[in-house]
Amino acid sequence: MSLSPELEALLAPLLKGHANRKRRNAMRRSVGVAAALLTAAALGAAALAASNSWIFKSDHGYASGKKNVVFHGATYTVQTEVTGDGRSFNVGLNQGPELLVESVGHSWLRAPGVEPDPELPNPPRRPSGQAVYGNSFASGGGEIWFGVARPEIARVDLTDQHGHDFSTATVRPPQRYRSVFRFWVIAVPASHATTFTAYDYDGNAIQRGPLTATTIMSLY
């Protein structure tokens, strides 16, 4: 996908952080058993925050989160990193050490505790873009969908080609981490999700639309 110079500039800090994360992961894999045990002990002592089975922690200035999904007997992990300003992120699906699919994005929306974007210091009060974005991995006749939602979206429903619904609450990193984004994961065991419905905190359907896997997720 070809990005505009403006979008490339906005995503540059995130992509740089993603490259740094890959280098860090390579370094971590090279340590011995003793260092691994020390790391595990340090993580156990660190302040971790759990929300709807997601685990969030601070990682080199990023809010780093993960959630495990059991799908057809195998364990997959959705991992995300949100930049320190709370306005850019990446989210990917892993099986063990292998990254299967990944998306990145940015947001110009208002959100509690998040400073306005310098590129758009006075964002519109009413969002005009899509409320939910997702990416997917298909296996064994089913799919794992994951993605982001706007700040006011509390629940996401996916509907498959047979009219069956699959639902989940969205999750925002804990308040001490700044984030415009709410994250979600849904496993569809034996069918193909075709549409989404986004609901607010009062249970009102805010938006319905066709579901398309994407690697660029921008909220506006």
What is the Cα–Cα distance from 77 to 57, expressed in whole angstroms?
A: 15
Structure token pair of residue 57: 């922690």
Sequence ranges of the domains in the chain: 5-219
CB crowding 138-147: b at 16 or more within 10 Å, else e: eeeebbbbbb
Are 196 and 184 in contact, with CB atoms under 8 Å apart? no
Long-range contacts of 31-37 (CB under 8 A, 24+ apart): none
Neighbours of 55 (CB within 10 A): 13
What is the pTM for the complete model shown?
A: 0.77
Are 129 and 178 in contact, with CB atoms under 8 Å apart? no
Q: Tell whether domain 5-219 is in CATH 3.30.360.10.
A: no
Q: What is the pLDDT along the chain (220 residues), one digit of tens a residue?
A: 444 455 455 555 554 555 555 444 443 443 343 334 334 333 333 334 444 589 999 988 899 999 999 999 999 999 999 999 999 999 999 999 999 999 999 999 989 889 988 888 888 778 999 999 999 999 999 999 999 999 999 999 999 999 999 999 999 999 889 999 999 999 999 999 999 999 999 999 999 999 999 999 999 9
